[in-house]
Chains A and B, each alone.
Chain A
Amino acid sequence: MSDEVIRFENVSKQYRLGVVGTGTLSHDLNRFFAKIRGKEDPTKKVGVVNTLNSREGDYVWALQNISFSLNDGEVLGVVGKNGAGKSTLLKLLSRVTAPTSGEIKVKGRIASLLEVGTGFHPELTGKENIYLNGAILGMTKKEISSKFDEIVEFSGVSKYVDTPVKRYSSGMYVRLAFAVAAHLEPEILIVDEVLAVGDAEFQKKAIGKMQSVSKSGRTVLFVSHNLTAVEQLCTRGILLQNGMLKMEGPIHDITSAYKKASVNENELRRSGTRHAEFTEYQMVDTNRKVIDEVFLGDTFMIETRFKARENIDYADLSLDIRNDSNEFIGHITNADDLFEIKSMDKGEEKKVSIKIKDISFAPGTYYISVWLGNKYGTFDYIENCIRFSIKQGDAFIQRPYPFDKRAKTVLKSEWMFD
């Protein structure tokens, strides 16, 4: 059970962006000259974070310094957003392409189901395709023959087995393809997104098959956006983010981290060195109850919690407040109150709450960005991470009609005759 069967050692994979063929020759020459001068390849600088919407550079790191290992009989779920590097990881493992650096070590025969139905030929009959597809996936004719009946029965298309697959409905096609793949018997099975196909009943059957495969002691690497399926099948998981290994552990921890991350970080822009980073931030009322709505003139608090990843001398914390037209309305920093956040040791965590008194911005929606850093740079900056709204109410100003939307702040006033 504790026998290691797969080990990734600092695996990275680089892809070129844009159209191959324009400029490749000059890049090749560039590389070549760098190589003969004994310099580092100018296009291979590890360390640039891969996000789908950054448009800098011609090359992108789909995976960066991935290290993990997998023991015999484990079912590992690979979880991550689109573009996190899941498919690249499986492609490397299934030998479709080679890593740019690092090593992958494997014990045993690998078969991959990167997409079912690979190599199906429309003109050939179901039977002929079972053999062809099986052989492409690495089975011998003998193995296929011994499983042929089982495959046909599992697929449920026995009536059409002598019909060219181009006459199949797309559902039949996929079922036949999955049936072949499901009857592979490699020591290590790689699965990507196959459960997205077929009707509900077939999906159930497919998950059942996968479960029995994993129970039979085979090692499985499973990638899917279907978190329920991942949780059902896998025991352990890894979470990929922007090509990096973010987390590794029991599958439920991974999926819940992923769910949390996909709620928050999908829209969040976050930057900084992360020498210290926010772990929590929320808006609460004076009774420390979480809120997202206040009335003009109210007093409320922002609770933050942050953790040092390195030793730091001191830190400043500030809040930017913007309205929903992204106009900068307010700024608060610890120095305003002569509050000091002194040196923190690596791993140390601090909680800081900021009380904001008598809010007097015009009614509307606001976003708070939290910043942590010092004069040398930004540790962690999370843009617009707290959203709240200010209602007019009647405690601060008592006019019985709405406040003018063009005004940005409300001035508390007293009126009198002299």
Chain B
Amino acid sequence: MSNSLHNRPNEPLRQENWSMVLRPKRSLFEVNLRELWQYRDLISLFVRRDFVSKYKQTILGPIWFIIQPLLTTLMFTVVFGNIAGIPTDGIPKILFYMAGIVGWNYFSTCLNDTSQTFIKNASIFGKVYFPRLAMPISIVISNLVSFVIQFLFLLVFLAYFMIKGIHVSPGIEVLLLPLLVLIIAGLGLGFGIIISSLTTKYRDLVHLVTFGVTLWMYATPVIYPLSQIPEKYKLLVLANPMTPVIETFKTALLGTGSVNYLQLLYSVGFTVVLLAVGILIFNKVEKTFMDTV
């Protein structure tokens, strides 16, 4: 046992193998993804928790996953389709809106839920350490589960209309679907963790998020086809990285619209940069956010 603790700095430095050194600030690019991988069980348990706890003590259970987009679709069909009369490129209105909503929903739930990572989990984060990124990642995955359920439901509708002989023809772009889902998840996660990092100290952004996401939807071809955009707004809509994703999503399933691979590439690039920036910011904030949250 050593008693000369305070004289330590004078000792000659010997080779030491500490497994962890906690410092005030870590370098910007010190992201520990391997550690995240070690906690994969935790992520899967969080996903399970989210899924199970959401529909405990409900009679309809997981059916609620479907009811929400279904009702939104009906509302959009009445309001935007029948009353406002926005054309849908010749696709049955229900199908057109539902495809848009299912795709957009995944993005908006990812963004909304992950944007509160630090605030909502402050009590857990204040007591135990685990890689904080596990939380938003698990949110994105559990939202993926509801997306898949909604997507299967959409396929049922699609099959129904195809049997009825209405002209919808899923194209070869179906192969792009996994990529589209990845982009949606990446964008939602990226924006979400950036917002959650920025809101630990200043809460102003919280008020903007839900509202902002709704507005954002109108700048994305969810309830209208890209072909209907007047020229002067086109740049705005095209700068939106979600535009090519939703448009391609619809094209793949319904066979109309257009796939512009250049724009899709733009979305991919945007997602990669956004995620990288998001993880860096998140990583910087996670160490001391408990002091300010």
Contacts and interface: CB of A to CB of B under 8 A. Distances in A.
Interface of A: 2, 7, 9, 15-16, 20-21, 24-25, 67-69, 71, 91-110, 112, 114-115, 118-119, 121, 123-124, 128, 131-132, 135-141, 164, 236, 248
B20 interface: yes
A99 B23 contact: yes
B130 A136 contact: yes
B230 interface: no
Contact of B128 (A97, A104, A119): A119
Nearest to B20: A106
B45 A132 contact: yes
Given A68-B5, A96-B128, A101 B57 contact: no
Nearest to B125: A96
Contacts of A139: 41
A248 B2 CA distance: 11
A288 to B, nearest CB: 36
B127 A95 contact: no
Interface string B31-50: 00000000101101110110
A25 B292 CA distance: 12
A67 B128 contact: no
B21 interface: yes
A97 B130 contact: no
Interface of B: 1-3, 5-6, 8-9, 16-25, 39, 41-42, 44-46, 48-49, 52-53, 56-57, 123-130, 201-203, 287-288, 290-292
A96 B49 contact: no
Contacts of A7: 8, 18
B18 A107 contact: yes
B9 A9 contact: yes
Contacts of B45: 131-132, 135, 141
A33 B201 CA distance: 19
A108 B48 CA distance: 30
Query: 4 shortest A-B CB distances, which residue pairs?
Result: A95-B129, A135-B42, A104-B22, A98-B287
A132 B20 CA distance: 25
B42 A67 contact: no
B18 A105 contact: yes
Contacts of A131: 45
A132 B291 contact: no
Contacts of B9: 9
Contact of B41 (A94, A99, A141): A141
B13 to A, nearest CB: 12
Nearest to A115: B127
Contact of B1 (A2, A93, A135, A140): A2
B226 to A, nearest CB: 41
Contacts of B1: 2, 71, 236
11 contacts: A67-B8, A69-B8, A96-B127, A106-B20, A107-B20, A114-B126, A123-B57, A137-B128, A140-B41, A141-B41, A164-B56
A94 B19 CA distance: 14
Q: Tell me the interface secondary structure of chain A in the complex.
A: mixed
A91 B21 CA distance: 15
A27 B112 CA distance: 30
B49 A94 contact: no
A418 B76 CA distance: 119
B288 A97 contact: yes
Nearest to B40: A140
A3 to B, nearest CB: 11
Contacts of A103: 21-23
Given A98-B288, A132-B45, 8 more contacts: A20-B201, A20-B292, A96-B129, A103-B23, A104-B22, A108-B19, A110-B20, A128-B48
Nearest to B38: A140
Given A96-B125, A135-B45, A138-B130, A106 B18 contact: yes
B291 A16 contact: yes
A100 B41 contact: no
B202 A121 contact: no
A253 B180 CA distance: 66
Contacts of A24: 201-202, 292
Contact of A98 (B24, B125, B130): B24
B21 A124 contact: no
A28 to B, nearest CB: 8
Contacts of B19: 106-109
Contacts of A99: 22-24
Contacts of B290: 91, 96-97
A236 B3 CA distance: 12
B6 to A, nearest CB: 6
Nearest to B126: A96
Given A97-B290, A118-B127, A67 B23 contact: no
Contact of B124 (A21, A92, A118, A123): A118
B138 to A, nearest CB: 11
Contacts of B127: 96, 112, 114-115, 118
Contacts of A2: 1
Contact of A128 (B49, B123, B126): B49
A67 B203 contact: no
B21 A104 contact: yes
B147 to A, nearest CB: 22
Contacts of B49: 121, 124, 128, 132
Name the residue in B22, B24, B25, B291 with the highest tally of chain A Cβ atoms < 10 Å from its Cβ.
B22
B53 A124 contact: yes
A128 B128 contact: no
Nearest to B50: A121
A4 to B, nearest CB: 8
A101 B24 contact: yes
A395 to B, nearest CB: 54
A102 B9 CA distance: 12
Name the residue in A2, A71, A97, A100 with the highest tally of chain B Cβ atoms < 10 Å from its Cβ.
A97
Contacts of B8: 7, 9, 67, 69
A102 B24 contact: yes
B5 A136 contact: no
B128 A94 contact: yes
A341 to B, nearest CB: 30
A95 B23 CA distance: 10
Contacts of A106: 18-22
A331 B28 CA distance: 62
